[in-house]
């Protein structure tokens, strides 16, 4: 795994604060139209996206359990990693940490598997305890730290921060009717990549399931394009026991490279072509 795992998780964090359901958002817009006089019925997708944009700025702290599944149809393989996730914003800087603790591959028993990802605004550090290696990816210039969500935007659209009109240029977006869920306890947002999208070489589609009662995402499924073979890899993320805006001690993001590990492999920031 590499820094794209951060991207796929960060996109979900943008949806973790106070998201209303499609029906609720549409109702709000309709009530406004009644007061203002006859107007064109609003698109419920626009209502949901606007609500997301309004709410994401409230996110300062996030922590919870995470399950990250990768499915590779070509190899008939499936792997599930489980662990903990932490995000915090300290002034102008943000930090993100993922501690994977177990791994289950195909029909094998779940086993201990420790792998950590820590992002501090400049460096993404990957620590793999199985093979005792450390990789440090430079993602920002010195003295110019970036937010975890800005890092994510290099690989995946940031719903909630991306302008609605720009998002619609990249994707066809629909609200999926939850026919088998009565009364609906979730709403599902489906994004299909357009042929001329800047994400056309990375993803086919993205789906989000959001719990209407908790106003939190519970699952994300991303279908990835794989140019080297005819099958599409699938990435699924589940969020469990989330805690929103509960203060996190900055020490959570501290780490030391264990004794006996190889010297860190440094991957410097790629220079932009002039």
**151, part of any domain:** no
pLDDT tens digit string along 87-133?
898 887 888 899 999 999 999 999 999 999 998 888 889 999 999 99
Q: Does residue 126 form part of some domain? A: no
| CATH number of the domain where residue 202 is located | 2.50.20
Q: Tell me if 249 is assigned to some domain.
A: yes
Give the pair of three-digit tokens for residue 149. Answer: 């969500």
Name the residue among 11, 125, 117, 13 with its Cα closest to residue 63. Answer: 13
Q: What is the pLDDT of residue 50?
A: 66
> Which one, of 218, 178, 234, 264, lies nearest residue 16 by Cα?
218
**Residue 257 CA: distances (Å) to CA of 10, 96, 101, 103, 167:** 25, 17, 17, 22, 40
Give domain status of residue 168, yes or no. yes
Query: Which pLDDT belongs to residue 31?
Result: 47
Q: Coil, strand, or helix at residue 193?
A: strand
Residue 172 lies in a domain: yes
b or e along 8-43 (b: 16 or more beta carbons within 10 Å of the residue's beta carbon)? Answer: bbbbbbbbbbebbbbebbbeebeeeeeeeeeeeebe
Structural domain for 249, as ranges: 4-81+157-254
Q: List per-block mean pLDDT (blocks of 10 residues) for the chain, which spans 274 residues.
A: 58 45 42 51 68 66 91 90 92 87 96 93 92 91 76 54 71 82 75 88 84 72 76 87 90 94 91 60
Q: Per the structure, how many domains does the chain have?
A: 1
- What is residue 266's three-state secondary structure? strand
CA dihedral 136, 4, 97, 141 (to 10 degrees): 50
In a domain, 164, yes or no: yes
φ, ψ (nearest 5 deg) of residue 261: -85, 155
Bridge partner list, 30 = none
149 closest CA partner among 9, 4, 10, 3: 10
The residue written with tokens 């589609």 in the block is 205
In a domain, 120, yes or no: no
Task: State the pLDDT at residue 136.
Answer: 93
* The pLDDT value given to residue 22: 39
Tokens representing 55 are 């709410």
Residue 271 in any domain: the answer is: no
Secondary structure of 91-128 in HEC code, one letter for each residue: CCEEEEEEEEEEEEECCCCCEEEEEEEEECCCEEEEEE
């Amino acid at each position: 795994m590499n820094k794209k795992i951060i991207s796929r998780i960060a996109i979900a964090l943008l949806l973790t604060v106070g998201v209303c359901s499609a029906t609720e958002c549409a109702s709000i817009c309709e009530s406004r139209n009644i007061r203002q006089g006859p107007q064109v019925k609003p698109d419920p997708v626009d209502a949901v996206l606007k609500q997301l944009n309004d709410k994401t700025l409230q996110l300062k702290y996030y922590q919870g359990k995470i399950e990250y599944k990768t499915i590779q149809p070509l190899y008939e393989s499936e792997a599930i990693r489980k662990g903990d996730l932490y995000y915090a914003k300290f002034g102008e800087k943000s930090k993100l940490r993922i501690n994977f603790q177990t791994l289950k591959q195909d029909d094998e028993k779940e086993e201990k598997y420790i792998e950590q990802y820590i992002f501090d605004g400049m460096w993404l550090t990957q620590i793999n305890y199985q093979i005792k290696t450390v990789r440090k990816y430079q993602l920002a210039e010195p003295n110019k730290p970036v937010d975890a969500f800005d890092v994510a935007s290099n690989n995946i659209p940031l719903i909630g921060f991306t302008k609605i009109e720009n998002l619609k240029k990249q994707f066809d977006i629909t609200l999926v009717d939850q026919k088998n869920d009565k009364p609906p306890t979730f709403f599902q947002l489906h994004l299909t990549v357009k042929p001329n999208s800047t994400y056309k070489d990375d993803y086919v589609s993205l789906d989000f399931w959001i719990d209407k009662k908790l106003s939190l995402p519970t699952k994300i499924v991303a279908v990835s394009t794989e140019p080297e073979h005819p099958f599409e890899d699938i990435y699924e993320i589940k969020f469990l026991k989330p805690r929103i805006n509960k203060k996190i001690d900055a020490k959570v993001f501290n780490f030391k490279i264990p004794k006996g590990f190889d010297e860190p492999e440094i991957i410097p920031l790629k220079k932009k072509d002039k």
